[in-house]
Structure formats: C-alpha cells, structure tokens
C-alpha cells in the first residue's frame, strides 16, 4: 500500500538589500580599477514551495524540480568610482570618474547565476600627459598636459554568480559614448571588468 506525505519547504529567495563591490579589468587602451555601492529593488520575498515525498513503491515524485532557466523580477542600481590609466594613440593618460547605472535581471540560470542588462550615466576627468611637445620663450622644449571633463551614457551587461550568502562574483562589460568638446581624446570607450560583491545584510 502506497502512501505519501506533503511537507512545506521554504527557500530563502530574498536578495540582499545593500552591498559594496570592488574590482578591476581592461579598458580600450589600458587598465581600470573601481569600487561601488549597490542597492537592490524588486527583491523576491520568502517563497513557499510544496514537496512531495514518496514511499518505497515509487508512485509519487520525490520532490518537485525547479525550473532551470527563469525570468526573475529583480533590479538594482550601482554607484561606482573608477580610475583608469594606459597608453593609446601614442598618448599616456589617466581618467577618474563616477558612474550611476541601473541593472535589470533578464535571466536566472540555475540557482546562483543572474544575467543583467545595464544602462546609465558617466562623468570623468581625462588627463593626457606628455602629449604635445612645445617650445617655450627660451627655445627649450616642454611637454604639455591637457585636462578635460567628459560626460555621457553607458550600456552593457553584467553577470552575478552567487558564491555564498555574503559574497558574489561579478563580471561585466560596457560601452560608453562621451561628449568630447576639445576633440583631443575621442568620444567612445569600453570597459571589461570583474570583481567581488560583499553583502551588507
């Protein structure tokens, strides 16, 4: 005689509300480092699931399987500061700035991997060093430095791989379109990066 027992199984689906993040990566002409603060929205509450346990006769499924790929209701914002340095077009440069970006989760793969779309605003101070060789009043060659404040928009994607309740691995890429009033260092730039996110609660 077969029998089965229904039992409630609770899975904690809540995303942490706030996190901090640090990482680095490659830019179009050099390397970059960043640190940021993350605030989550549309987090899912505790989700109640029913599990069916079976007897030895095997007439009932042991446990209901989760969907492997699903569309989550989840989004977050990230405010980050970055520093970039490198060489491009025979120019040595540094760039420091701030990004404000919104992320929306497109897919959840398995139990721990999220794929997110990214869009936002960026502002930076570019400094070109040793870029132009001039001659002063005494006829001595001197090297000039140019600074320019730039601003624009960014778009791309970011993946989150949840390692534990406190730590998440981050990898992403974005393309930036900037206003370049002085026309001395271009109006596009891209970044590829990876880092760790630490949950505050």
Judged against a pLDDT cut of 60, whether residue 66 lies above it is answered with: no
If you ran DSSP here, which 8-state letter would residue 68 be given? S
Q: How confident is the model at residue 177 (pLDDT cuts 50, 70, 90)?
A: very high
**pLDDT-based confidence at residue 144 (cuts at 50, 70, 90):** low
Q: Which residue has the higher pLDDT, 201 or 95?
A: 95
pTM: 0.73
Q: Does 98 score more than 90 pLDDT?
A: yes
The CATH T-level fold of domain 17-43+69-199 is Porin (2.40.160)
Question: Is there a contact between 47 and 66 (Cβ–Cβ < 8 Å)?
Answer: no
User: Which pairs with CB-CB distance under 8 Å and at least 24 residues apart come from 169-177?
Assistant: 169/194, 169/195, 169/196, 169/197, 170/21, 170/23, 170/194, 170/195, 170/196, 170/197, 172/118, 174/101, 174/118, 176/122, 176/152, 177/152, 177/153
| pLDDT(193) > 70 | yes
Q: Tell me: the pLDDT tens digits for 68-82?
A: 555 667 899 999 999
> For 92-106, 115-129, 172-186, which range has the lowest pLDDT when averaged over its residues?
172-186
DSSP secondary structure, 128-184, as one string: EEEEEEEE-TTS-EEEEEEEEEEEEEEEEEEEEEE-SSSEEEEEEEEEEEE--TT-S
Q: What is the pLDDT of residues 16-41, one digit of tens each?
A: 689 999 999 999 889 999 999 999 98
CB 3 within 8 A of CB 182: no
Domain ranges of the chain: 17-43+69-199
């Amino acid at each position: 005689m077969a029998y089965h027992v229904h039992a409630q199984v609770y899975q904690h689906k809540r995303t942490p509300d706030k996190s901090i993040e640090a990482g680095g990566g490659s830019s179009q002409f050099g390397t970059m480092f960043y640190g940021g603060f993350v605030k989550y929205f549309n987090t899912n509450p505790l989700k109640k699931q029913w599990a069916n346990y079976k007897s030895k006769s095997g007439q009932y499924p042991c446990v209901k399987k989760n969907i492997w790929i699903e569309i989550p209701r989840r989004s977050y914002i990230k405010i980050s500061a970055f520093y970039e340095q490198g060489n491009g077009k025979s120019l040595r440069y540094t760039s420091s700035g701030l990004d404000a970006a919104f992320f929306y989760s497109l897919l959840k793969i398995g139990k721990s991997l999220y794929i997110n779309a990214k869009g936002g605003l960026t502002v930076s101070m570019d400094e070109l060093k040793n870029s132009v060789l001039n001659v002063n009043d005494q006829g001595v060659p001197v090297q000039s430095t140019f600074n320019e404040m730039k601003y624009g928009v960014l778009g791309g994607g970011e993946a989150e791989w949840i390692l534990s309740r406190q730590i998440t691995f981050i990898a992403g890429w974005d393309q930036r379109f900037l206003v370049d009033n002085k026309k001395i260092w271009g109006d596009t730039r891209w970044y590829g990066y990876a880092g760790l996110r630490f949950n505050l609660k």
